[in-house]
Amino acid sequence: MRLILLGAPGSGKGTMAADLAREYQIPHISTGDIFRQNIKANTPLGQEANQYIQNGALVPDSLTIAMVADRLEQADCQRGFLLDGFPRTVAQAEALAELLEKRQLRLNAVIELELSDESILSRLSGRRVCATCGRTYNIDSCRPKQDGICDICGGTLYQRDDDKPETIRQRLANYYRQTLPLSDYYEQKNILVRINNEGEVGSSLPAVLSALKERS
């Protein structure tokens, strides 16, 4: 199964991605997570990406595309993959299409998670992330069983630097300008599945799974 998850920051991509990756036993490839790991380890890629991420800007396409191309070469992607946070620009989508074409692979579906701006803002400002496994929580709507501790792995929860109000606004603006055009792009290719993700965490998984049944 080869899938892409689209949706604004805070639309629930991370949680949905973790669920789908488990369901189909495919790697969950989050470009945001890969950047954050590189920043933490202070690699050259991390140093370069950090300046953009801190300002709520996108990391340049060339850097991002090379990183994903490299990741998709790894053996665990042979059974498929789920991309979360990539592509984020039409140029990235075109680069991905070329990459897949070369290997005669096709995408099964692109799932777009829809959410109102209001919900996005409240989800992002209350978001907490597990430092160990990346699972996300929300201090208002999706609390961990024990404050500050991940239910799944016991890791410590923290608030991302880029989840500050000014940065959130910038990220949303980027999303509308640079990423939203991808829903038309994939709709024209007849692989877009739109899912309303306003409900509680996890509640739209059944709708996604049933849409994917016809596309596997």
Binding residues (CB under 6 A) for ligand ADP: these are 9-10, 13, 31-32, 35, 52-53, 56-59, 64, 85-86, 88, 92, 162, 171
- Total residue count of the chain as it appears in this document: 216
Quote the CA–CA distance of 172 and 79 in Å, as a whole number: 33
Residue 132 found at the interface with Zn ion (CB under 5 A) = yes
Nearest distance, CB of residue 213 and ligand ADP, angstroms: 27
Partner touching 67 among ligand ADP, Zn ion, none, CB below 5 to 8 Å by kind? none
Closest CA to 20 of 195, 148, 175: 195
Neighbouring CB atoms inside 10 A of 150's CB total: 22
Determine how many CB atoms are found less than 10 A away from the CB of residue 148. 12
Are 207 and 195 a contacting pair, CB within 8 Å?
yes
Tokens at 87, concatenated: 């592509």
CB of 116 to Zn ion, least distance (A): 28
Q: Closer to ligand ADP by CB, 80 or 85: give it.
A: 85
Contact 45, 38 (CB under 8 A): yes
Active-site residue 13, yes or no? yes
Query: Is position 40 annotated as part of the catalytic site?
Result: no
Report strand pairing: 157-158 vs 81-84. unpaired
> Is 171 noted as a catalytic residue in this protein?
yes
The one segment of 14-22, 66-74, 130-138, 208-216 that binds Zn ion by CB under 5 A: 130-138
CB of 105 to ligand ADP, least distance (A): 19
Residue 32 touches which member of Zn ion, ligand ADP, none, C-beta under 5-8 Å by kind: ligand ADP
**Would you give the binding string for Zn ion spanning residues 145-184, x where CB under 5 A is met?**
-----x-xx-x-----------------------------
Among the listed residues 2, 36, 88, 128, the single catalytic one is 88
Q: Is 106 a catalytic residue?
A: no
Task: Determine the distance from the C-alpha atom of residue 58 to the mean position of all C-alpha atoms in its chain, rounded to a whole number.
Answer: 13
169 is catalytic: no
Contact (CB, 8 A) for 28 and 79: no
Question: Looking at the annotation, which residues are catalytic?
Answer: 13, 88, 127, 160, 171
